[in-house]
Amino acid sequence: MAGDADDPSTPEGLARLDARKSDARDLVDGQLPMSAREEQISLAFTRMITYAAGCAVKTHDTDYEGVDLTITSSVEYKRILGPQFDLQLKATIQHGRLTDEHLAWPMKVKPYRKLVRGNDGKRHIPAYLGVLLLPEDATRWVDVDENRLITESRMFWQAASEFPGETTSESTHTVHLPRSNLFTVEQLLRIMENIGNNEGGAR
C-alpha cells in the first residue's frame, strides 16, 4: 500500500511520482537507460570512423584520467612513428547547444582540468574532446537496410590545447567545438598527420 510519500497531493509524493515517470521514459522496453545507450553509441561511432581510417583504438579500464579511448596510427611521419591521441567522449541530444559556428558544451570543472592538464607542454600524448550530437528521436540514431547503414549523428571535436588552461569556475566550464571540426575519416587522418609531423594536430 502506498504511504504518504507516494501521495500525489503532497509535494514530496508528486516529486517521487515524477521521478518514476522520468525513470520509465529513460527505459525502452526494459532495456538500457538512454544515457547508457548514448554513451555506447558514441563509442561505436568513434570506432567505426577510426577503423575506416585505418587507425586503431586502445581502451582503458577506467576513465579516471579523463580519457575514454586512445586513437593510434601505425604510419611513420616526419617526426613521429605511430602518432596517437587521447579522446574524452561525450554524447547529447540537446540540439539547442549547436549554433551557426560551434557546439557549446558545459564541462564539469574536474574533468575539464584533467583534459587541459599538460597544456603547458608536459603532456606526451595530445588530448582531444569529442561530443556526439544524436537526434532527439532515438529511432533515428541508426537506420539499416540491405544496402546501407545510416546515422543522423555527427561528432564535433577540438584539441584540448585549444582550450584555456585555467578556469575560475567552481562548477562548470563551457567549451566551444567548431562546427567545421567534424570527426570524419579525412579529418582524423589530418589530425594524425599534424601530430606525426609535430604540427600540433588541432587542425
Q: pLDDT at position 57, please?
A: 98
The distance from CA 137 to its chain's CA centroid, rounded to whole angstroms, is: 18
Classify 123 as helix, strand or coil: coil
What is the gyration radius of the CA atoms in the chain, in angstroms? 20
From the candidate CATH numbers 3.90.1150.10, 3.50.50.60, 3.40.1350.10, 3.40.50.300, the one assigned to the domain spanning 34-196: 3.40.1350.10
State the pLDDT at residue 26. 55
Q: In the block, which residue shows the cell 604510419?
A: 75
Residue pLDDT, tens place only, 73-128: 999 999 999 999 999 999 999 999 999 999 999 998 888 888 888 777 677 899 99
Cα angle 8, 10, 15 (rounded to 5 degrees) comes to 65
Give residue limits of the domains in the chain.
Answer: 1-31, 34-196
The three cell numbers locating residue 50: 577510426
* Nearest to 174, CA basis, from 122, 125, 102, 123: 102
- Parts of the chain with a pLDDT under 70: 1-30, 63-64, 121, 200-203
Q: What is the pTM of this model?
A: 0.81
Average pLDDT, the chain: 84
Q: What was the pLDDT predicted at 120? A: 72
